[in-house]
Amino acid sequence: MNYISTRGKAPELGFEEAMMTGLARDGGLYVPGDIPVMAKDEIAALTGLSYEEVAYRVMRPFVGRTFTDDAFRKLIAMAYAGFDHPARAPIKQLEPNQFLLELFHGPTLAFKDFAMQLIGQLFQASLSRSGERVTIVGATSGDTGSAAIEAFRGLSNVDVFILYPHGRVSEVQRRQMTTPTEANVHAIALEGDFDDCQARLKDMFNDHGFRDEVRLAGVNSINWARVLAQVVYYFTAAVSLGAPHREVDFTVPTGNFGDIYAGFVARRMGLPIGRLFAATNHNDVVNRALKSGYYDKNAVIPSFSPSMDIQVSSNFERALFEAYNRDGNAVSLLMEDLSLHDGFKISQGALQMLTDVFGSGMTLESATLERIKRTALETGEVVCPHTAVGLDVAVRKARRGIPMITLATAHPAKFPDAVEEATGKRPPLPSRMADLYDRPERVTKAPNDLAALQSLIRGRIDT
C-alpha cells in the first residue's frame, strides 16, 4: 500500500514512513493511494468477532508488510488491553432508531484512545527496530493531548510536546496533561486558541530544517494511522446492527473532521453507511461549508464542547481531495486561499460529491444543555456536551427505518461543569482517576510564536 499527499507534490511513502512522517513535506495530508474494498461476505464474517479481531481484519490491508500478521495482532491486543469495557466500543439503544456508540472506555476517557493507544504500540515497535529517537509535537483542544501523553509517557525514545490553548480546555483535560510526572512529557499552554496551536504545529512541519533537526513526528489526525484506527469502530457498530445486510447512518460530533472522515473511509471500504452527519457547536464552519459551498473561517468562540472549538478543520482537506477527484493542485489552491483569505469556494461538482455523503447540523449552547438533560431524564444516559451536540443533530436528521448511530466521543466526567449545569449532578471520575484534582501540575506557558516554541523544544530535547 502506498500513501500519497493531498497536495500532490510530496514523495509517495509506505505505511510506516507515512506514520512516522505525519504531515507531508508539501504541507498536505497522506491518504492511501487506493482504498481497499471489503467484500460483502468479508464484512458479514466480522459479526460476533472481538473488537481486536475486527481491528486486525479492517486495518491489515492498509499496513502492508510493515509488521508481520502475528506482530500486528499482538500490537492490537496490547493497545486495547487497558480499556475498561470488554466490548471496547459498546453500542447502546436510546430509542427505537437511535443508538449511542460509546467511545470513552479507554484510559483517558475519549475516543482518541482508540487510535492513540495503537499508535503508541506501532511507534514503539518501529522505533525499537530503527533505534531512532523522535520528537512528537501535538496540538490539542483537550483530548488528543491527554491521549497522546498517556500513550507515550515514559518512553525512552520519544519526547512529547503538547500545545493546548491556555484557559480553553476543561480542568479535567488540563490536569490529564499537566499531572503526569515523566520527564519526556511537556504540556505547553499556548496564548491562543486551538487553531493557533494547530497552525504552529503545521509551521513546524513546514520548516524542513527544524523538522529534520528534531526528527519531528505528529500524532494528530494529520497522521494517517490515527484515522485508520478510527475506521474500525464504524465496522463494529454497523455490523452489530445488521451490516452488510442493513444500511446505517452515523452522526459524528465534529471539529477537525478526522473522526467523520474515518467514517467516510469505512464507507469507501464497502460498509453500508448511508449518510454521515457532521454535528458542530456554534463553531460551525464545516456545517456552513457543506450547506453553502463556502468555507468561511470565523473567530473561534468558546463553548460547552471545547474539543470542537475549531475553525480550521484539518481533515476537511482529505475529503476535498476525494471531492476534487484526487487533484492535488486543486486542493493546494483551496488551501492557499484558506491561508491568504480565510476561506475558499467549493466547486459545484465537489460540493455535490461531498453532500452525497455528508449531511450536517449545528447545535447551540442552550440546546446542548437541554439535550444532556433530556437524554438523562428519558434514557438514563448521562452524555458529555460533545455527544449532546451530536445527539441533537441525530434526532433532527434521523431517517425512517434506518438506524442512526451517534458517536459518544467523551466521558461526561471530563466536562463536569456543563453536565452539572444541565442535570444538577456532577458526574464522578472513574476511581482510577479519583485523585486527579490532588496531583501537582507541571505546565509551561508559551506565546503564539513559532520561533519561541522551536527554541523551547530545542532546549528540552537532547538533539
Ligand X SMILES: Cc1ncc(COP(=O)(O)O)c(C=O)c1O
Extract the C-alpha cell encoding 266: 469505512
Q: How many residues appear in the chain?
A: 463
Question: Could you say which of 124, 178, 307, 311 contacts ligand X (CB under 6 A)?
Answer: 307
Name the residues that contact ligand LJ64HWYM, by CB under 6 A: 140-145, 220-221, 255-256, 258, 307, 314
Among ligand X, ligand LJ64HWYM, none, residue 405 binds (CB under 5-8 Å by kind): none
Enter the DSSP assignment of 308. G
Among ligand LJ64HWYM, ligand X, none, residue 409 binds (CB under 5-8 Å by kind): ligand X
Residue (94 or 188) nearer to ligand LJ64HWYM, CB: 188
The rounded distance, in Å, linking the Cα atoms of 179 and 101 is: 29
Residue with cell 469507501: 268
Residues whose CB falls within 8 Å of the CB of residue 455, separated by 6 or more in sequence, listed in order: none
Q: Does 309 bind ligand X (CB under 6 A)?
A: no
The rounded distance, in Å, linking the Cα atoms of 290 and 323 is: 12
Task: Name the minimum Å distance from CB 65 to ligand LJ64HWYM.
Answer: 27
Among ligand LJ64HWYM, ligand X, none, residue 220 binds (CB under 5-8 Å by kind): ligand LJ64HWYM
- From 154-162, 248-256, 369-377, 425-433, span contacting ligand X (CB under 6 A): 248-256
Q: How many CB atoms lie within 10 A of CB 86?
A: 9
Q: Does 410 bind ligand X (CB under 6 A)?
A: yes
Residue (244 or 255) nearer to ligand LJ64HWYM, CB: 255
The rounded distance, in Å, linking the Cα atoms of 189 and 441 is: 12
For 26, what's the count of Cα atoms within 13 Å in the CB-facing half-sphere? 19
Site for ligand X in 108-137 (CB under 6 A): 110
The one catalytic residue among 9, 112, 291, 414: 112
Beta strands per DSSP E along 134-267: 134-139, 158-165, 185-190, 216-217, 248-253
Inter-CA distances, 318 with 29, 262, 313, 367, Å: 7, 10, 10, 30
Q: How many CB atoms lie within 10 A of CB 255?
A: 30
Among ligand LJ64HWYM, ligand X, none, residue 253 binds (CB under 5-8 Å by kind): ligand X
Residue (127 or 418) nearer to ligand X, CB: 418
- From 48-56, 123-131, 250-258, 442-450, span contacting ligand X (CB under 6 A): 250-258
Beta strands per DSSP E along 46-184: 91-95, 98-102, 134-139, 158-165
Q: Does 190 bind ligand X (CB under 6 A)?
A: no
Among ligand X, ligand LJ64HWYM, none, residue 140 binds (CB under 5-8 Å by kind): ligand LJ64HWYM
In DSSP terms, 449 is beta-bridged to none
Residue (72 or 194) nearer to ligand LJ64HWYM, CB: 194
Does residue 345 carry a catalytic annotation? no
The rounded distance, in Å, linking the Cα atoms of 145 and 344 is: 29
Site for ligand X in 361-390 (CB under 6 A): 386
Quick one: which of 239, 249, 246, 274 has its CA closest to 53? 239
The rounded distance, in Å, linking the Cα atoms of 448 and 360 is: 32
Give me Rg for the CA atoms of the chain: 20
Task: Name the minimum Å distance from CB 47 to ligand X.
Answer: 27
Among ligand LJ64HWYM, ligand X, none, residue 176 binds (CB under 5-8 Å by kind): none
Residue with cell 439535550: 371
Residue (258 or 359) nearer to ligand X, CB: 258
- From 45-53, 89-97, 256-264, 422-430, span contacting ligand X (CB under 6 A): 256-264
Binding site for ligand X (CB under 6 A): 110, 143, 221, 253-260, 307-308, 386, 409-410
Known catalytic residues? 112
